[in-house]
């Protein structure tokens, strides 16, 4: 008995050490990839500007590093349980039922990842010369049919990255990433081996399922979609819901599921997409350093003499951070814990302070260099510079009434007011000078035509890293590595959603859903203003139920044909879209900002919803103004051309 126990203990110890080393290797790969991804565009910019040379294939390297960071980051998000979710069973089920729900969620998540693994493997095999003949010799017939149901092997080629790396080498991270995520979902299902084995049956089930083409496959689509929705309510990640829906719909129509990774590759490895992880990294560097504290001092010194001035400062600071991170959740989670005690100590009521921080988490989404504006431009094929110009006035209009409410609260309670001292203002600005000029630095690079948007985002990362780590010394080497890993987990969680959502969007476009929707809208909505009213209502619901990235990828292609039919300018549509999503984030009972604020401030969801109600009405009034006064977007755009 003792030798057996000793052997079992040794195996557990060895497995634990292997897991630890695998995790550290994963972290090192992500940190290195993010650093290299930031350095390549900067070196290219410096070489081109000063030495009339650059890095051959620099753009392709950065694009495919985005793909690797996205998938390895998604693996990390699975390891840490950081994937975005709609709901979680732990919130409302008793413990025993919750354990069953966790197993169901793990089973479905692993099954969908296994299906996406098979779809990605089709793409890699098709791109890799020589693999088709090899698979035909050693793989059984039913697996070969699963890999290549429609003669995909015949289209294999020798595309390269940078002129020397075969494209399939870059793409192999997709099937590898989905395989690792499937295994991790199984391991997270339970600590009991028999439960893990039961959940692991999802893998062979998904291997056999693609052979059920034709009529039998179509009969599984509707029940499968219902099961996915139930699983999403129980805590399945959003990317599993979208990826599973895409798999079912393609299988049901007898179309190769390789279309999903093809679209994932196309969007994630697109030329403009590297700006998303780079701008997000810049925001993380600022939030992990003491930039927020220095900027609070600046805003307090400049606006503290105004009634409610500190709340105004908090509003501007949240808008600033959201602009760079592109996600209200990051702002609420990163700054909420810092700003709430400051507001309470200055005399603001708790309900006002919580409502303010919940609402201001998404205020910067319309201002450059907002990541969601960039993503909308990529999806809708609208010049991103035009979208930045069109969003300037609406972005300011969303901030102004919040600041007015802060001033009114200051008059009412006498909170947050301090005398103005020129010496303190000058000292605060001088202390934070490197961060104060950051928005100016970005705007000059973007609108000055000195470099591309990707180079701008990379230059901002290098600038922020130099400022926080070398000038202010807020970040140690270990701190930089830690924030790189945290950033990669967030980026991976976002990019995997966008990638699989593009696969679902591809099915909807092939099924002509946007054209049918446009025809219906033309028939039933007789005026442009009625269409805009219906659009407002629909987008608020979308903002309640979907995160902003999947909403952009799935919904934008659906509404573009309808908007074109009614003569709505694409830039105006983009600003309407993002403004309504901001409103949806605050709409009870399922607005995402409400959940995040409830988690961050440890307050009941109902109370947070009530605290944010005033700000919800103010933002709603501005959204109506933005929607029905096109000059605020299109007119400003024309003036700035």
Query: Which SS3 state, helix, strand or coil, does residue 85 take?
Result: strand
Comparing 217 with 391, which gets the higher pLDDT? 391
Q: Count of residues for the chain?
A: 641
Confidence bin at 65 (pLDDT 50/70/90): very high
Is a pLDDT exceeding 50 seen at residue 190?
yes
Q: How many CB atoms lie within 10 A of CB 13?
A: 10
Please tell me the predicted confidence (pLDDT) of residue 338: 67
Confidence bin at 272 (pLDDT 50/70/90): confident
| Nearest of 488, 452, 541, 507 to residue 272 by alpha carbon | 452
- Cβ density class 106-141: b for 16+ within 10 Å, e for less: bbbbbbbbbbbbbbbbbbbbbbbeebbeebeeeeee
* Domain residue extents for the chain: 56-268, 275-640
Strands (E), 330-386: none
Is a pLDDT exceeding 60 seen at residue 465?
yes
Cis peptide leading into residue 369 (ω within 30°):
yes
DSSP class of residue 237? B
Instruction: Tell me what the mean pLDDT of segment 223-247 comes to.
Output: 88
Comparing 442 with 579, which gets the higher pLDDT? 579
Query: Which SS3 state, helix, strand or coil, does residue 465 take?
Result: helix
Confidence bin at 10 (pLDDT 50/70/90): low
| Nearest of 26, 45, 620, 15 to residue 359 by alpha carbon | 620
Is a pLDDT exceeding 90 seen at residue 92?
no
Residue where the block lists tokens 């005398």 = 419
Comparing 154 with 453, which gets the higher pLDDT? 453
Residue where the block lists tokens 């403004």 = 579
* Cβ contacts of 601-607, under 8 Å, gap ≥ 24: 601/336, 601/340, 601/354, 601/357, 603/354, 607/351, 607/354
Confidence bin at 375 (pLDDT 50/70/90): confident
Averaged pLDDT score across all residues of the chain: 80
Distant-in-sequence, close-in-space partners of 33: CB < 8 Å, separation ≥ 6: 65, 68, 69, 72, 488
DSSP class of residue 432? T
CA pair distance 299, 287, nearest whole angstrom: 16
| E strand or H helix that includes residue 376 | helix 371-380
- For the ranges 33-37, 225-229, 445-449, the lowest mean pLDDT is seen at 445-449
SS3 content of the chain, % helix, strand, coil (to 5): 80, 0, 20
Please tell me the predicted confidence (pLDDT) of residue 447: 73
| Nearest of 229, 18, 226, 189 to residue 107 by alpha carbon | 189
Is a pLDDT exceeding 60 seen at residue 290?
yes
Percent of the chain with pLDDT over 70: 84
Distances (CA, A) of 449 to 226, 569, 639: 50, 25, 18
Is a pLDDT exceeding 60 seen at residue 637?
yes
Is a pLDDT exceeding 90 seen at residue 181?
yes
Residue 431 near residue 424, CB atoms below 8 Å: no
Please tell me the number of Cα atoms within 13 Å of 254 on its side-chain side.
5
DSSP class of residue 161? E
Is a pLDDT exceeding 70 seen at residue 365?
yes
CA pair distance 241, 98, nearest whole angstrom: 19
CA pair distance 582, 559, nearest whole angstrom: 18
Confidence bin at 514 (pLDDT 50/70/90): low
Distant-in-sequence, close-in-space partners of 88: CB < 8 Å, separation ≥ 6: 234, 235
CA pair distance 235, 226, nearest whole angstrom: 15
Please tell me the predicted confidence (pLDDT) of residue 146: 41
Comparing 538 with 139, which gets the higher pLDDT? 538
Please tell me the predicted confidence (pLDDT) of residue 179: 92
Query: Which SS3 state, helix, strand or coil, does residue 165 take?
Result: strand
Please tell me the predicted confidence (pLDDT) of residue 129: 62
pLDDT tens digit string along 79-91?
988 887 766 555 5
Residue where the block lists tokens 């890799």 = 128
Please tell me the predicted confidence (pLDDT) of residue 112: 92
pLDDT tens digit string along 45-64?
888 888 878 788 888 899 89
Distant-in-sequence, close-in-space partners of 515: CB < 8 Å, separation ≥ 6: 561
Percent of the chain with pLDDT over 90: 19
Please tell me the predicted confidence (pLDDT) of residue 413: 76
Please tell me the predicted confidence (pLDDT) of residue 158: 45
Please tell me the number of Cα atoms within 13 Å of 302 on its side-chain side.
17
pLDDT tens digit string along 102-136?
888 898 999 999 999 988 988 888 877 655 444 44
- For the ranges 190-204, 474-488, 569-583, 586-600, the lowest mean pLDDT is seen at 586-600
Cis peptide leading into residue 589 (ω within 30°):
yes
Instruction: Tell me what the mean pLDDT of segment 366-376 comes to.
Output: 84
pLDDT tens digit string along 137-176?
444 444 444 444 434 334 444 477 877 788 888 899 999 9
Please tell me the predicted confidence (pLDDT) of residue 400: 93
Residue 247 near residue 260, CB atoms below 8 Å: yes
- Cβ density class 21-31: b for 16+ within 10 Å, e for less: eeeeebbebbb
Comparing 212 with 82, which gets the higher pLDDT? 82
Is a pLDDT exceeding 50 seen at residue 350?
yes
CA pair distance 156, 168, nearest whole angstrom: 10
CA pair distance 595, 600, nearest whole angstrom: 9
């Amino acid at each position: 008995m003792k030798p057996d126990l000793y052997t079992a203990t040794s195996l557990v110890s060895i497995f634990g050490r292997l897991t630890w080393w695998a995790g550290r290797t994963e972290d090192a790969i992500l940190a290195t990839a993010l650093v290299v991804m930031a350095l390549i565009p900067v070196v290219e910019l410096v070489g081109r500007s000063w030495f009339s040379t650059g890095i051959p294939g620099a753009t392709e390297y950065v694009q495919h590093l985005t793909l690797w960071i996205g998938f390895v980051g998604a693996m990390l998000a699975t390891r840490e349980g950081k994937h975005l979710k709609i709901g979680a069973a732990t919130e409302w089920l008793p413990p025993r039922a919750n354990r069953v729900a966790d197993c169901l969620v793990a089973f479905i998540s692993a099954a969908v990842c296994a299906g996406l693994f098979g779809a990605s493997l089709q793409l890699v095999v098709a791109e890799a010369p020589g693999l088709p003949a090899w698979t035909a010799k050693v793989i059984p017939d039913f697996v070969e049919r699963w890999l290549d149901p429609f003669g995909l092997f015949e289209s294999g080629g020798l595309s390269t990255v940078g002129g020397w790396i075969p494209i399939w080498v870059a793409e192999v991270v997709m099937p590898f990433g989905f395989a690792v995520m499937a295994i991790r979902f199984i391991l997270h299902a339970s600590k009991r081996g028999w439960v893990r084995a039961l959940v692991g049956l999802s893998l062979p089930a998904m291997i056999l399922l693609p052979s059920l083409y034709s009529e039998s496959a179509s009969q599984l689509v509707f029940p499968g979609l219902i099961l996915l929705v139930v699983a999403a309510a129980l805590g399945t990640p959003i990317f599993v819901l979208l990826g599973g829906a895409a798999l079912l719909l393609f299988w049901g129509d007898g179309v190769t599921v390789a279309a999903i990774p093809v679209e994932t590759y196309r969007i994630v490895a697109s030329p403009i997409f590297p700006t998303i992880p780079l701008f997000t990294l810049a925001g993380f560097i600022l939030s992990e350093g003491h930039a927020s504290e220095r900027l609070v001092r600046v805003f307090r010194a400049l606006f503290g003499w105004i009634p409610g001035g500190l709340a105004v400062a908090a509003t501007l600071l949240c808008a600033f951070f959201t602009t760079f991170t592109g996600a209200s959740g990051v702002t609420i989670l990163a700054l909420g814990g810092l700003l709430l005690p400051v507001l309470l100590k200055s005399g603001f009521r708790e309900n006002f302070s919580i409502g303010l921080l919940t609402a201001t988490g998404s205020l910067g989404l319309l201002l450059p260099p907002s990541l969601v504006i960039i993503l909308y431009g990529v999806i809708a094929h609208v010049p991103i510079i035009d979208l930045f110009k069109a969003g300037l006035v609406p972005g300011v209009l969303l901030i102004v009434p919040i600041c007015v409410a802060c001033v009114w609260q200051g008059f009412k309670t006498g909170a947050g007011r301090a005398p103005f001292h020129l010496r303190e203002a000058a000292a605060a600005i001088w202390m934070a000078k490197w961060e104060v000029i950051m928005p100016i630095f970005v705007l000059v690079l973007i609108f000055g035509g000195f470099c591309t948007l990707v180079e701008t985002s990379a230059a901002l990362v290098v600038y922020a890293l130099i400022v926080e780590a070398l000038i202010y010394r807020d970040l140690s080497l270990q701190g930089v590595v830690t924030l790189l890993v945290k950033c990669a987990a967030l980026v991976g969680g976002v990019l995997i959603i966008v990638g699989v959502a593009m696969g679902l969007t591809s099915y909807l476009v092939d099924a002509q859903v946007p054209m049918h929707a446009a025809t219906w809208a033309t028939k039933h909505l007789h005026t442009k203003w009625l269409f805009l009213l219906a659009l407002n209502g629909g987008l608020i619901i979308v903002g309640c139920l979907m995160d902003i990235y999947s909403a952009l990828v799935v919904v934008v292609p659906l509404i573009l044909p309808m908007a074109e039919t009614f003569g709505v300018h694409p830039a105006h549509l983009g600003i309407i879209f993002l403004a309504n999503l901001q409103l949806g984030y605050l709409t009870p009972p399922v607005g995402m900002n409400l959940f995040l604020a409830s988690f961050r401030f440890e307050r009941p969801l109902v109370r947070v919803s009530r605290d944010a109600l005033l700000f919800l009405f103010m933002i709603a009034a501005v959204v109506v103004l933005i929607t029905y006064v096109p000059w605020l977007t299109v007119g400003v755009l024309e003036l700035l051309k």
